[in-house]
Every structure is written in C-alpha cells, then in structure tokens.
Amino acid sequence: MPATIQNYSVAANYTASGFATAFTTAMTDAGKTLYDSFTDGAVVHRIFEETYDNTKTYGKTYLWFIFNGADMFYHICRGWNASTDQPTGTQYLDFLSNATNTTANHMRFALQNGAQTVNIRRYSSNARGSFDVILVQNGTTEFHMIFDTTPPIAGLVDLDKECWDGGMMWCRTRAVTNVAGINFQSYPACLRGSFRGRWLRSVTAGTQYGANNTASSPWEIGSGDSQILKGMTYGWVGNTANEGNNIVFSGLANGGIHILPIGFNNVNSGGYATDYKPPFYDILLNSYTGAKLPADFSIFGSYVSNTLQTFGGITVGSEDGEIISAFNAVNTPTEKPSAVFYAIKPPPP
C-alpha cells in the first residue's frame, strides 16, 4: 500500500504569508486542525490543535508555528484562545511567552533563502491514519517533521497532569566510518507542564525550553537535549574484511542502538545463501507511545549507492520509494551502508 504524496510550491521571492499559506494547506490536507491564524506586524502565526486523547485534561497540544522573513519557527502551548490570539494559562507552565511580534521565543527550523523556491512535500500514511510527514526544501536547505498522534502510554505520561511534547519528530539519518544509523528524534520544545519539562525549576532561559530563533539542524538546543531527544535508534553494520570499525557506532553519539537483522553471505554462508538486506517498518518510533512505523514507510541500510538524495527514487525489492531523508556512506557503498528513510510511492498512472 503506497503513501499519499503531494507537493506544494512557494515561488521564489516569497513572503512569510505565502510560505505560511502553503504550509497550512499541506497541514490541513494531512488532517491537522488549524485552530488560529493571524498576523502581528511582520510575524505570521498558524496554530494547530493536535489531539492525542481528548478525554484528558492535557490531551491536546497546540503547535505554534510562526513565519517571519524567509524562515519558519516553532513552539508549543498547553492551551490557546483563538479569540484573543494568545496562549492561555501560566507562563513557563503552559506556554513560554505570549509575545506575538517576535521570533525570540521559538525555534527556527533553518536559515532559508527567500530568493529561492520553497517546495513542501506531504507524505500521509494510508496504512495508519495517525502518521504524516511534512518535508520543506529551499535550495540545499531541507528539514522535515513527522507527526504521530498515537497517545502516550498512560503509565508513562499522565495527560491529566502534563501535555505530550514528543508527538512531533524527525528521522535523523547518519553514516560514520563503516556504519550507518537512524533515530526518530523529538523536537526540543518543552514546558514545565509538558512531559520533558519536569527539570525546569526556576528556569526562565528560552533555550532550555527549546527556543532558539537562530537554530539549525540538528536542533539540540538545551543543555540536556542531545541525550533526551534521540528516541528510538537503529543501525546497520559494515561489511569490510578484517575491520573493527564495522561495529563502531560511537561516532554517531547515539547511546543505545538496535542493530537491525541483516545477513551477509560472506560472513554467514551457512545461514544466508544470498545477502539479506531488507527494508524495515513496524518498528518502534517512540518508547513512550508504542507507535510503530506504518507499512507505507520504511528505513533502509543501502549497500548499493552512496549518491542518494531527498526526493530521489529508491527501489528495494519490489518496492519503489521516494527518499525523505538520507545520509550517504563516504565511500565503498557495497561494504559501508547509507541510511535512508523513505515513503512507498504510488504506482505510475
């Protein structure tokens, strides 16, 4: 079953409003609820209501996107008043700041070039309706957002006491020396009243809440973010003869890593008559929700090519996919894996 794939373009020399409009169309086409839309001076705002469990006090999280100049920014709130165009509740507990004429309290996704076209690509799962990916490309600048509305496990996250801040992720692809890895990493936005904000006693510095309006990938902003955001991590080993680096994942700085079950004939000829290098789905995205990658998306360790690129095609067995994120091996692609995250493409008309 293929994913739904749709493109939205914003012509070169675009405005913040034009960027916001195209992004909003992609989000609403993905089934996201636009809760509020307004402009304060040059700053354009779009607030989306993301529902994880509407029976809970904090079963909804408000995704606050703003657009200014060529760039796009992000933070979260626990409540929002669409009549006053303001977050509700208490500062730091329910929102970081209620200022709407500045980007200072948000995280920038990337430094973009307004003189170049923006392509926004939507990938929506038809195997599981709670999973969507929005990819933004502007010249050589690329970033994507995975939206998964699976509610967190009640024994781990109590949505009557705190909101869920890990439902928006990205697939971080990397390759170092002889190995490759992928992790489904959360974005850094948090609050005192969100799941990852319990350590913020008396903290008022915006960066500790995941706000940095000059940020760029990998968006590890706060002092502890490099460890707590990484989520589920998967890896592929190298296949170079007599080489210890085939299993050295320390360069990925990932902590625990799940080695995926591939098989090489030149290592285990008794078990594998031919190499076994499958794509993987139905794997955990997040240990706090139990959500799994749906069947119309896959991650893959490629031992064929190291010229993979975003929007490019990839064929794995009988599947034709479109690449959302890839990181290429430096050399010897038959022995050193490249990391790939892709969506299954619909068949040609």
pLDDT tens per residue, range 71-107: 999 999 999 999 999 999 999 999 999 999 999 999 9
pLDDT for the residue 347: 83
pLDDT tens per residue, range 323-345: 999 999 989 999 999 999 999 99
pLDDT band of 349, cuts 50, 70, 90: confident
pLDDT band of 310, cuts 50, 70, 90: very high
Which residue ranges make up each domain of the chain?
Answer: 4-220
pLDDT at 225 over 90: no
pLDDT for the residue 255: 63
pLDDT at 113 over 80: yes
Length of the chain: 349
Mean pLDDT value across residues 215-240: 89
Query: What pTM did the predictor assign?
Result: 0.96
Query: What's the chain's average pLDDT?
Result: 95
Beta strands 168-176; 4-10: pairing state: unpaired
- Helix then strand count (H, E) for the chain reads 2, 19
pLDDT tens per residue, range 251-275: 886 667 899 999 999 999 999 999 9
pLDDT for the residue 254: 67
How far is residue 64's CA from residue 85's CA, in Å, rounded to a whole number? 11
pLDDT band of 285, cuts 50, 70, 90: very high
